[in-house]
């Protein structure tokens, strides 16, 4: 009997391809779906507000919807596919199209009525001001 040194990383390295083969047997291609895309988002907290930045290149302002309800900020939209041109032969198509939705839970201490959004050069910026935290009130005993 020969001993083989165990290498824990090697087992995990094959996991994505093993899962692709497994789901592929059922006709499911979760990992390489061309119909799903999610814009990259950064959320930063400062002393006075939260700032959400989303990369949405190629979208028009009217293609984006922002909602804030019950402490959840929701970004939805759609990147529409360009009109098909029968005179063009595509050699590679890597850009993704379709609808997206991103939801982010934020603390309750925000001023929902003062949320502002700006869209410039394919970047959506949402500023969410923080509300002053309720201060404890000292009650005098008489």
State what percent of residues in the chain have pLDDT above 90: 42
Domain residue ranges in the chain: 37-84+92-129
* Mean pLDDT over each residue of the chain, to the nearest integer: 80
With 60 as the cut, is the pLDDT of residue 57 above it? yes
pLDDT, tens digit (0-9, with 9 covering 90-100), for 67-116: 999 889 999 999 887 777 778 887 777 778 889 999 999 887 899 999 99
Contact 95, 81 (CB under 8 A): no
CATH code for residues 37-84+92-129:
2.60.40.790
Q: Which residues contact 48 (CB under 8 A, 6 or more apart)?
A: 129, 130
What span, in angstroms and rounded, lies between the C-alpha atoms of 116 and 110?
A: 12
* Per-residue model confidence (pLDDT) at position 43: 94
Tell me if 101 sits within 8 A of 84, measured CB to CB.
no
How do residues 22-33 score in pLDDT, each as one tens digit? Answer: 665 555 544 444
């Amino acid at each position: 009997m020969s001993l083989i040194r165990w290498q824990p990383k090697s087992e995990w390295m094959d996991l994505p391809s093993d899962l692709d083969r497994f789901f592929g047997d059922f006709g499911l291609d979760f990992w390489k779906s061309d119909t799903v895309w999610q814009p990259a988002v950064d959320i930063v907290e400062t002393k006075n507000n939260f700032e959400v930045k989303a990369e949405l290149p190629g979208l028009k302002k009217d293609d984006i919807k922002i909602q804030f309800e019950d402490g959840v900020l929701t970004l939805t939209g759609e990147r529409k596919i360009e009109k098909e041109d029968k005179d063009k032969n595509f050699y590679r198509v890597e850009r993704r199209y379709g609808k997206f939705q991103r939801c982010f839970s934020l603390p309750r201490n925000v001023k929902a009525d003062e949320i502002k959004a700006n869209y410039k050069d394919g970047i959506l910026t949402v500023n969410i001001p923080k509300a002053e935290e309720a201060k404890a009130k000292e009650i005098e005993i008489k």
